[in-house]
Amino acid sequence: MSSRNITLTAIVILLIAAIVAIPKLMRNDNREAENNTSPGDEPTVSCGTIKEPQSGSTVTSGSEIPIQVDFNGNKWDIVEVFGEVHATLNNFTGQGTLMIPKKYVGSLTLQLVGVKDVKDAGTVKADGTMCEGKSITLNVRPNASVIELFVIPIKMTLGSPGETEQILVSATYDDGVDRSANSPIVGTTYQSLHPSIATVDKEGFVTGRTPGITSITVQNGKLFKTITTIIVRVQPPS
């Protein structure tokens, strides 16, 4: 790779990091992120479309998957598929390969980003045209079964109705790898004994509803763990 391409890659990675941070903030608080949008912001130029893999596809942990992007007739100096993992694409063919880590499971969002016409490369004034494509989401599942389940915390206290906290689930799989097991993609389910006191969603987020004590059972296949005490306290006076 030439020194120019190395410089371009460094620039695009820094710019990509800023782009990728936006959806993460939106997941934390969508309404707040929407309010942060400036009326004067210019729309991002489109890089193209990720044709393969298709959004919603299921891929295997530890696998190498081919990527195909249609640039829609545009030419970009550096284009990457970026997320928890990333891959640099051939800027002529739109092809590349993405390596899914062996320990990764759950939902994986990939964003197409790139840059062209970089000016003053290697200086603090470096500038160019950024592009962004529509993101896709893959379901990553290991080719292995859960043989041991671990859940924390054992006891959870929610300060008042409306407060939310996530149950963290990990597992040992029969291929000898320890992975997260929070996602329903790997077969984990959650059930509250008293939903009127506390509810739990498919990702293990527990929300207090009314003051009281209940329990939540986490299950994967024939294995299960129970958080025996979920305490929802009375809302403190304002």
pLDDT band, residue 120 (cuts 50/70/90)? low
Q: Is residue 108 part of a domain?
A: yes
Q: How does pLDDT run across 137-196, given as a tens digit for each residue?
A: 999 999 999 999 999 998 999 988 999 999 999 999 999 999 999 999 999 999 999 999
- Number of domains present in the structure of the chain: 2
Provide the pLDDT for residue 31: 37
Question: Which own/partner contact pairs does 51-56 have at CB distance under 8 Å and 24+ positions apart?
Answer: 53/136, 53/138, 54/136, 55/136, 55/137, 55/138, 56/136, 56/137, 56/138, 56/139
Does 126 share its domain with 191? no
CATH classification at residue 62: 2.60.40.10
Q: Is residue 128 part of a domain?
A: yes
CATH classification at residue 205: 2.60.40.1080
pLDDT band, residue 34 (cuts 50/70/90)? very low
| Residue-number span of the structural domain to which 170 is assigned | 146-232
Q: What is the mean pLDDT of residues 57-81?
A: 90
CA 37 to chain CA mean position, Å: 22
The answer, yes or no, to whether residue 235 has pLDDT greater than 60, is: yes
Q: What is the mean pLDDT of residues 4-11?
A: 48
Q: What is the mean pLDDT of the chain?
A: 80
d(CA 12, CA 22): 16
Q: What is the mean pLDDT of residues 224-235?
A: 80
Which has more confidence, 220 or 10?
220
Task: Classify burial at 1, counting beta carbons within 10 Å of its beta carbon; exposed 0-12, middle 13-18, buried 19 or more.
Answer: exposed
pLDDT band, residue 221 (cuts 50/70/90)? very high
Name the pTM for this structure.
0.72
Does 15 share its domain with 99? yes
Does 15 share its domain with 110? yes
d(CA 139, CA 60): 8
Does 136 share its domain with 74? yes
Q: Give strand ranges (E) for the chain.
A: 45-46, 49-52, 58-60, 64-70, 78-82, 86-88, 95-99, 106-119, 127-141, 146-152, 155-158, 164-166, 168-173, 178-180, 188-192, 198-200, 205-208, 212-220, 223-232
Does 132 share its domain with 188? no
The C-alpha angle with vertex 60 and arms to 216 and 14, in degrees rounded to 5, equals: 95
pLDDT band, residue 230 (cuts 50/70/90)? confident
Residue with tokens 């599942």: 141
Q: Is residue 237 part of a domain?
A: no
Task: Classify burial at 156, counting beta carbons within 10 Å of its beta carbon; exposed 0-12, middle 13-18, buried 19 or more.
Answer: buried
Provide the pLDDT for residue 147: 94
CA dihedral of 78, 79, 82, 88, whole degrees rounded to 10: -70
The answer, yes or no, to whether residue 22 has pLDDT greater than 50, is: no
The answer, yes or no, to whether residue 26 has pLDDT greater than 50, is: no
Does 193 share its domain with 115? no
Asked if 104 contacts 74 with a C-beta cutoff of 8 angstroms, the reply is no
